[in-house]
């Protein structure tokens, strides 16, 4: 079953075409990494699928529910329910600095899913344990390392029980030694059959966690294939040039 179905997705900002008739699918339980140069449309694609950007044309279906078809969005109540099927983890954490770790994870559960405070806290504590952060429930974001803050962000996204989680450069704001923390957390999610779409510039990270890699440039997908095969033996010249520049930098 395809959890994500995107067809003919186009998006422009003024005269700048950022996405050009993008089409792809992601199967249930699959981990897909999107790589490519800055400005290629990767983050805009994630923001479009999570409804943080409105598209100009195309169709997006999430877990069998239509978000937008041929450029026409679902009615408001339906759209809100479809958006709950996806979670997004940002590169800069986006935690509420004046909330404790526990409240960062419970707030949306109570406000959006209408869970009781007790239910939300039980779910939050379970996720903090999974992320190795049980002792940090009462802490505030400013007292956490970057890796710990990102793991709290992952727990917050998981707390709403999404069908798929998107990661937008989840390790780019971290020191190299903290990247391993996030790698372990994402690997554990993959072992639980969580469907994930990850935008990243780190090829070792992509090779390690992804089943499949999509190379994007100029608002289109140039090449796709199994992660290790595409990264180590790309077929397209544009992919080879990008990876060569990345390796030499």
What the block records as the tokens of 118 is: 């007790």
Low-confidence ranges of the chain (pLDDT < 50): none
Cβ atoms 127, 135 nearer than 8 A? no
For residue 93, the model assigns a pLDDT of 83
What the block records as the tokens of 233 is: 């033996």
For residue 209, the model assigns a pLDDT of 87
Which of 44, 29, 56, 14 lies closest to 220, judged by CA? 44
Pairing state of beta strands 31-35 and 212-217? parallel
Cβ atoms 51, 83 nearer than 8 A? yes
Spell 123-139 as b/e; 16+ CB within 10 A means b.
bbbebbebbebeebbee
For residue 159, the model assigns a pLDDT of 96
Task: Work out the end-to-end distance of the chain between its first and last CA atoms, rounded to an integer number of angstroms.
Answer: 39
- Residues 54-94: tens digit of each pLDDT: 999 999 999 999 999 999 999 999 999 999 999 999 888 88
For residue 170, the model assigns a pLDDT of 85
For residue 113, the model assigns a pLDDT of 94
Hunting for tokens 């090449």 — which residue is that? Answer: 223
Query: How far is residue 57's CA from residue 184's CA, in Å, rounded to a whole number?
Result: 37
DSSP string, 183-207: HHHHHHHHHTT-EEEEE-S-HHHHH
Alpha-helical (H) ranges within the chain are: 42-49, 76-83, 101-112, 117-130, 146-158, 176-191, 203-209, 227-232, 237-248
For residue 181, the model assigns a pLDDT of 81
For residue 173, the model assigns a pLDDT of 66
Q: Which residues contact 129 (CB under 8 A, 6 or more apart)?
A: none
Q: With residue 18 as reference, give the H or E element that holds it.
A: strand 16-27
């Amino acid at each position: 079953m395809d959890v994500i179905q995107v067809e003919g997705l186009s998006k422009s900002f003024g005269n700048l075409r950022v996405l050009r008739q993008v089409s792809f699918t992601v199967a249930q339980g699959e981990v897909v990494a999107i790589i490519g140069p800055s400005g290629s449309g990767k983050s805009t694609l994630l923001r479009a699928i999570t409804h943080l950007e409105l598209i100009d044309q195309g169709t997006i279906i999430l877990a069998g529910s239509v978000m937008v078809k041929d450029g026409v969005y679902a009615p408001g109540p339906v759209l809100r329910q479809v958006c709950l099927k996806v979670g997004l983890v940002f590169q800069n954490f986006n935690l509420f600095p004046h909330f404790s770790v526990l409240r960062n994870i419970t707030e949306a559960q109570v406000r959006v899913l209408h869970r009781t405070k007790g239910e939300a806290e039980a779910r939050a504590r379970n996720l903090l344990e999974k992320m190795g952060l049980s002792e940090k429930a009462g802490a505030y974001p400013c007292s956490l390392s970057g890796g710990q803050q990102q793991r709290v962000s992952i727990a917050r996204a998981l707390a709403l029980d999404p069908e798929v989680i998107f990661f937008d450069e989840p390790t780019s704001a971290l020191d190299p030694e903290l990247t391993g923390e996030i790698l372990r957390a994402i690997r554990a999610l993959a072992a639980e059959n969580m469907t994930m779409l990850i935008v990243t510039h780190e090829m070792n990270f992509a090779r390690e966690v992804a089943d499949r890699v999509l190379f994007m440039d100029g608002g289109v997908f140039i090449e796709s294939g199994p992660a290790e095969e595409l990264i180590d033996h790309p077929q397209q010249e544009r992919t080879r040039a990008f990876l060569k520049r990345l390796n030499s930098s």
